[in-house]
Amino acid sequence: MKFSTSSVSSLVLLLPLLAQSIEASPIGSVKGGKAATPAKGNKAVASAAVTSSVVAAAVVSSAAAASTAAAGGDLQSSLTLDPSVIATGFENDGQNVPAAGQVASLTSSNNFINFCATVSNLPITNGQQITTGSCNPAPMGVIAAVTNMPASKFVFPTNGAVLQEKQPFTIQMAITNVETGHFVNAEQNYLAAPQQVTTSGNVVGHSHVVIDFLDSLNQTTPTNPSRFAFFKGLNDAAENGVLSTPVSDGLPAGVYRISSINAAANHQPILVAVAQHGSLDDQVYFTVAANGTTAEQSVDFGGSDATQGVPPPASTAAAAAASSVAAAAPAKASVAAKASAAPAKASATPVKGSAPAASPIAAKASKAPAGNKAPAPKGKGGNNAAASPFKFGGFKNRV
């Protein structure tokens, strides 16, 4: 069907008159969320209103069709919201049956297509990593089904592993339900397209690994996401379900947490069909012992206030020196050494409301498994990262 510019213009001109007619002839008030039945004498008005609504809908549909036709029939080139994708549920703020503490949702009758216009103080993300914040107009995309929710688990290092400082090792991580090896230009297409899935329903994407500094294995204060010891995008496809990347220079002595960041192709967090689900990522805790020392002697060194290649604060250095002196005299073992060794003697019975009492330090020093020498990554695109702390001025190639 073709629509001329004049016919669409005529229909658009009729819309205000029809709306005025509807406003002048009310059908009845809304009671309890339902429209009251019009009086007998209002049948003609009701009929006219229905007709007007149909015509108004035809105007919108005709305009959309005309716009689509002008774009060559490609909805992805049209600047008009197609009626078939309007989510009417977005008009509900969720408070018809409010739960304790529940807040009202933002609502929209046009899929929030102009939402970013409401935050004019922020720039449009536009595919870039804007460190001061931005507003992203890209839709979320295809949501992964429950049967295709991804998960990952570190093969190495294992939870509680003890490595030696500056010793090269290879991170290995098993992953499922992600078609890995798909990543876009992180500097030009960041968060710039919807999440996609394969014909089998698995998310099209890739993963990353990040190693954070910790003060100790018992640290309870949140870490600083802008400071980390190592970050790497895993751009290649998994081999036999396992992703890997080398940490060529190893790590300084200290306590660390390694985490996966599984992502869709445009680097966005993976979205799944339900709110209640297990973690889509993995985290393990491990220790890097100073050369010539045991894990117990080095467990508290290199905390989150340290950065790679920078000595720890004076107080931490002093504690390290005191611990070394104490270690040289076993009969006078320091309180700090005993305290750091305490997890090894922790009761196997977990404390109610606390984390399990598994003790990473109780495990014997782990060594990289045989064959744990993965080839160096191919270094595709802008998704590679060096083993160095995050710096806003050096964010390039770190996603």
Q: How do residues 45-56 score in pLDDT, each as one tens digit?
A: 334 433 444 344
Q: Render pLDDT for 214-236 as a digit per residue (tens, 0 to 9).
A: 999 999 999 999 999 999 999 99
Residues 173 and 66 in one domain: no
Range of the domain at 50: 5-27+42-84
Looking at the fold, whether 68 and 171 belong to one and the same domain comes out as no
The Cα 13–Cα 8 span in angstroms is 9
Model pTM greater than 0.85?
A: no
Q: How many domains does the chain have?
A: 3
> Looking at this protein, which amino acid is placed at residue 181?
G
The answer to whether residue 237 is domain-embedded is yes
User: Does residue 212 form part of some domain?
Assistant: yes
Letter for the amino acid at 371?
G
Q: What is the mean pLDDT of residues 375-392?
A: 42
CATH of the domain at 248: 2.60.40.10
Residue type, 78: S
Instruction: Say how many residues make up the chain.
Output: 399
**pLDDT tens, 20-46?**
444 443 433 333 333 333 344 444 433
| pLDDT tens digits for range 95-138 | 998 899 999 999 999 999 999 999 999 999 999 999 999 999 99
Note whether 196 and 277 are same-domain residues.
yes
What average pLDDT does range 376-393 have in this prediction? 42
The pLDDT tens digits for 149-169 are 999 999 999 999 999 999 999
152 shares a domain with 118: no
pLDDT digits (tens, 9 = 90+) for 288-326: 999 876 655 444 333 333 333 333 343 344 444 444 434
Model confidence at 142, pLDDT cuts 50, 70, 90, reads very high
- The answer to whether residue 200 is domain-embedded is yes
Has residue 58 been placed in a domain? yes
User: 172 is written with which tokens?
Assistant: 């290995």
**Farthest CA pair distance, the chain:** 103
3-state SS track over 183-217: CCCCCCCCCCCCECECCCCCEEEEEEEEEEEECCC
- Cα separation, 179 vs 241, whole angstroms: 10
Q: Which amino acid is at 198?
A: T
Check residue 60 and give its pLDDT: 44
Q: What is the model's pLDDT at position 306?
A: 31
Q: Looking at the predicted structure, is the pLDDT value of residue 65 above 90?
A: no
> Same domain for 214 and 314?
yes
Q: Both 298 and 363 in a single domain?
A: yes
If one counts every other C-beta atom within 10 angstroms of the C-beta of residue 350, the result is 12
